[in-house]
A and B are shown apart, each in its own frame.
Chain A
Amino acid sequence: MGWRVARIGDKEMSGANEGAELRLVTPGEAIGASSGARAGTGTLIMGDKLIATRVGWAKENNGVTSVDPIHAAYMPRSGDLVIGVVESVRNNLWFADVNGPFNGLLPMSLAPWKVEFGAAREQMDIGDVMLARVQEVDEAHNIVLTMKGVGLRRLKEGIMSEISMNHISRLRGDADSTLRQLKEASDCRIIVAENGRVWVDGETDGIAFMRTVLDLVRNEGHMATFNASLEALIENRRNA
């Protein structure tokens, strides 16, 4: 076939839609000439054209043309901070659902506890939630998780919620500014994992406030008015 797959571009996939040059594109739509252009994520070089492969916002950054997908499944990369839910337990390893196409494997050697062979369930059972990091992803999408690292642990309290992948950067804001504001306004501990899961723990009213914020992200995360709505919500909370 006369086409080649685009190079995987920057890891940073800002879902924000600020800027005048953004335009909504659909799969197969030409977004430029292939000569001289560098194909980023969500694009493909076909003949003399650069085409979009997903529905999303086309943008150009430092000569790399890419498409920020509006919908995308979580594709784990090594180093990602993820929140996983234990799906099955073997004698010396756990399988966790990490919101991706494949379960992550957490071997005993990468767990933070010293556990006897066959006693894995005593530390973490099916349905338990963990904060882990992706140690390794091979070309066949086998995912190895690790819980050895600062802050990585089993999450015993609080709530867990899911947001769409492209809304993560909107919830975090530039250099985590929005997230800091939310932490301060809700007085909660908040973790926004790379796999679209959010963990919140604190007082009941803070958690309730964060539930409203997450609903707003889910329903209005795409809108240009999102930041204003969020500001208003935070302001209301501060004045309450």
Chain B
Amino acid sequence: MGGYGDVKLLREDGLRLDGRKVDEMREVEIEAGILPAADGSAWVKHGLNVAVCAVYGPMEAHPRKIQRQDRAVIDVRYNMAPFSTSDRIRPGYNRRSREISKVTAEALESVVLVERFPRSKIRVEIEILAAEAGTRCVGITAAAVALADAGIPMRDMIVGVASGKIEDTVVLDLDKAEDNYGQADLPMGILPTTGEIAFLQMDGDLSVDEYNTCMEYNLKAAREIHELMVDALKRRYMEKNGGEA
């Protein structure tokens, strides 16, 4: 991802093509408990990305060879719907979805108290219904809300956010054009209350200063998204409770 010199991603007035400032996030909406059949579920809209996540378990881990005697395993299945992008995606597992499932599972394992459920499995199904760059982050956010909704004990609710570099400028939350034609992309899974990082990938090159700016943007965005996650969970039960806490 060396960048494409002739593609303009920043306007004359310093704003991005969709009118956002460099440190501005796309609009985020979160709902918890949308699937009655699942133990826990969430719906997240982040810009034009739409993700649905369902959590099942803890249940007995099958096949038995995946069982761990001292903890639960988290089985994540990340999948993009065939209609989620402009080009149809061939349904089923592919190299990319396998990678994202793996890194998401590892990120979630660091927040879920897996040692409480030896020999069990917690199934997390992430379905991307519409994609516009940053789906792995949206998937992680949705998974955290769905896990909390399922009553799985966690240290914190992990938030997925990304920032990157376009035209030598660090920007928060890349959209599709910025992701495709930008110079770098830095998705992270952040534990907002402690500021710990449970997941980090980097595509492209960033200087130390640029990296630090990305970190700063991501931490700020993570706290904002975290507030929406908490609000979604509380709203679900406040409504159930007739508006009373």
Contacts and interface: CB of A to CB of B under 8 A. Distances in A.
A224 B238 CA distance: 10
Given A22-B245, A30-B193, A72 B151 contact: yes
B151 A73 contact: yes
B120 A101 contact: yes
Interface residues of B, number: 40
Contacts of B242: 223-225
B16 interface: no
A152 B148 CA distance: 36
A69 interface: yes
B241 A222 contact: yes
A3 B155 contact: yes
B128 interface: no
Contact of A73 (B58, B119, B157): B58
Interface stretch (A49-57, A113-121, A169-177): A49-57
Interface stretch (B1-9, B73-81, B212-220, B229-237): B229-237
B109 interface: no
A214 interface: no
B204 interface: no
Q: Chain A interface: which size bin?
A: 20 to 34
A64 B120 CA distance: 29
Interface in B143-183: 148-157
B244 A102 contact: no
Nearest to B240: A222
A42 interface: yes
B139 interface: no
B175 to A, nearest CB: 29
A141 interface: yes
Interface stretch (B22-30, B45-53, B110-118): B110-118
Nearest to B110: A1
A153 B186 CA distance: 60
A17 B157 contact: no
B114 to A, nearest CB: 11
A27 B237 contact: no
A28 interface: yes
Interface of B: 39-40, 57-60, 69, 111, 113, 115-120, 148-157, 191-194, 229-230, 233-234, 237-238, 240-242, 244-245
Nearest first, the 6 A-B pairs at minimum CB distance are A71-B151, A28-B156, A53-B153, A27-B154, A72-B151, A101-B58
Interface of A: 3, 5, 17, 22-24, 26-30, 42, 44, 46, 51, 53-56, 69-73, 101-103, 139-141, 222-225
Given A28-B157, A72-B151, A73-B151, 7 more contacts: A24-B238, A28-B156, A44-B155, A53-B113, A53-B154, A54-B153, A54-B154
15 contacts: A5-B116, A23-B245, A27-B155, A29-B193, A29-B230, A30-B193, A44-B153, A44-B155, A51-B156, A55-B148, A102-B119, A140-B118, A141-B120, A222-B241, A224-B242
